[in-house]
Structure 1
């Protein structure tokens, strides 16, 4: 009975912490997207071609990341939350250097007088790394949730809800709250710190999960 209560409390803790972290992760992702798009539009121009390229690369990277994240989740089933944390920390690191990378990218395109094709290639190379990392987070966390919920539908539905809700709020926060008050560098830094916080909460959840497994032999 005591073990059962501990298991319920442990599951509740993991559910709340990880759902909240994924909400914030979605919020940060949209902050990045809006911020990076604004910078890229200044580099490659604002037309239907540039908009299509940027949105397409974003979705492509997330799709590839989802596939890779699923593979990683299967290869290392006992470290899914840890790998989720690593992905979030990696996104934060990329976010911190992203503005400087975009400055170099803009200077290179200006010096080479690159055409639309090379502008598209440059946008792809810049966006593919962080978007793949973002895409990896959902399958990693879904498979981790499924360890104790025993329902892929419940796990995917809950996480997708919180992540999408965070993304929607992030999309609204950027133009109405952040851009009017902060410069773009500060907005990106804000998102990076959000990813750091998400990574730290994931580490806390991972340690709690391991502690429950080791101390009480719980199947989490």
Structure 2
């Protein structure tokens, strides 16, 4: 009996296509599961991609080797079923590990990608072994199935990135995928000899779903980019904190937009209040929206202000409307777009103020930090325009120094605001890092008035400029579109630290 009998070309193509697609779904969704705890950084992405490729290589090698020693038909069903169970359990396992045993997160995270990835990757060489009936057609069979597998990987990537993540929670994606894999396993085994283990695997998949419900680290909303929660302030009835990927991102007082809780927001407000005449309406552009704290503040303190906000995450815009009291407020226009692309659409000299406050979880969008991006910001500002940005860094402040160096080459006047130890004004204290505020313009700003406003708001922050700022910046390299290792320059810190 030929070895290909019982596994026709269509069934073989479906198995290879589906298993290859599933590997990519697992890879992309695993990255989103890990981001709240490890950050959405280049290193995290590289690690997940590397583990996924390792799984594919390992599964392909072992699958082919075992298929030469064991009847291949016996391997397909278990590979699909076991991978389905692991995939379905992944959300509960990862979130529980992050909460109760964070030191093991990297190891467990790697296993949840490596195990199902290797099992699924093994399907292609197993199916190939079954389809080879003669040496004369080896090239045709291998080439066809290789192409089908690549097509499946492409579909899995596109489907996850453009459809699934925007419509389903990541836990739902993985539990659904695990269910489909178990169903596929049951069909394969039923076709081969009748299935007697499907109930056991089904119970494990159901257990994964139930465990995900009670596992820690859940979100109120999973947007395209964030695990988001809105937390009520027990001390202020109208206060709400927007938490993204475990980090307190924005604070909004729904009834009183002039109440600013976070120090860096009070610092930005101090700069704006003293840089422009009181109550003068402004034309402002905001790179990053979050809870829209500053646009709300400007609308309340400077009636007639027009704030255009570039926020890449449409899910955050919905959260603002549904949970943070944002109505059809006059003067606030939010566009779901990338901030760099949003800048290109603005006319030269059209803005009095540009505010930079864009973060992806605990990482910084590098393309908003470069000389080219800052040159575009300078282009859209009018003669008296001001750029104010929230920076975050820790340890040696390598990223913040590089950004200040880049700003100093782009604007005539630059100043840095922060804790004295963090900005080099108190050499006896150890820098702790956190938020810094940098301001840049082509006209001088009254820094004495700004310092007075900072003191009035009880921030404890000071201003570094001139020789002090030059000494603090040191020999930091400029950031350009060609060279911007922002993720590497950013110093590590706890994802649960506050703004």
Q: Could you say which structure has the larger radius of gyration? A: 2
Closer, same or farther: CA 156–132 of 1 in aligned 2, 3 Å? same
Q: Which residues in structure 2 correspond to 1:58-77 (within 5 Å)?
A: 58-76=52-70
CA drift at 1:177: 1.9
Alignment correspondent of 2:151: 165
Q: Which runs of 5+ in 1 are unaligned?
A: 208-220
Paired with 1:148 and 1:200, the residues of 2 have a C-alpha distance of: 29
1:95-151: per-residue Cα shift (whole Å, max 9, x none)? 1111111112211454xxx5xxx6544432332212221221121111111136853
Report Cα offsets for 1:63-89 as digits up to 9, x if no partner. 11112111211111xx21330221011
SS of the residue corresponding to residue 75 of structure 1 reads coil
Tell me, yes or no, if the aligned pair for 2:80 and 2:181 is still in contact at 8 Å.
yes
What SS does the aligned partner of 1:39 have? helix
Q: Does 1:102 align with 2:103?
A: no
> Against the structure 1 CA distance between its residues 83 and 165, is the aligned structure 2 distance closer, same or farther, given a 3 Å change threshold?
same
Structure 2 alignment gaps of length 5 or more: 194-499
- Distance in 1, matches of 2:188 and 2:108, equals 32
Kept after mapping to 2: 8 A contact 1:28/1:194? no
Q: 4+ residue runs of structure 1 moved beyond 6 angstroms?
A: none
Counterpart Cα distance in 1 of 2:140 and 2:151: 16
**CA 1:149–1:42 in 2, change beyond 3 Å: closer, same or farther?**
farther
- The answer on whether the counterparts of 1:95 and 1:188 sit within 8 Å (CA) in structure 2 is yes
TM-score (norm 1): 0.76
Higher strand share: 2
Conserved 8 A contact 2:20-2:121: no
Q: How many residues align?
A: 193
User: Counterparts of 1:5-44 in structure 2 under 5 Å?
Assistant: 14-44=8-38
Greater helix content: 1
Match of 2:85 in 1: 93
Provide the residue aligned with 1:217 in structure 2.
none
Judged with a 3 Å threshold, the aligned counterparts in structure 2 of structure 1 residues 63 and 119 are, in CA distance, closer, same or farther, namely: same
Q: TM-score, normalised by structure 2?
A: 0.36
Residues 65 and 119 of structure 1: is their aligned pair in 2 closer, same or farther, counting only changes over 3 Å? same
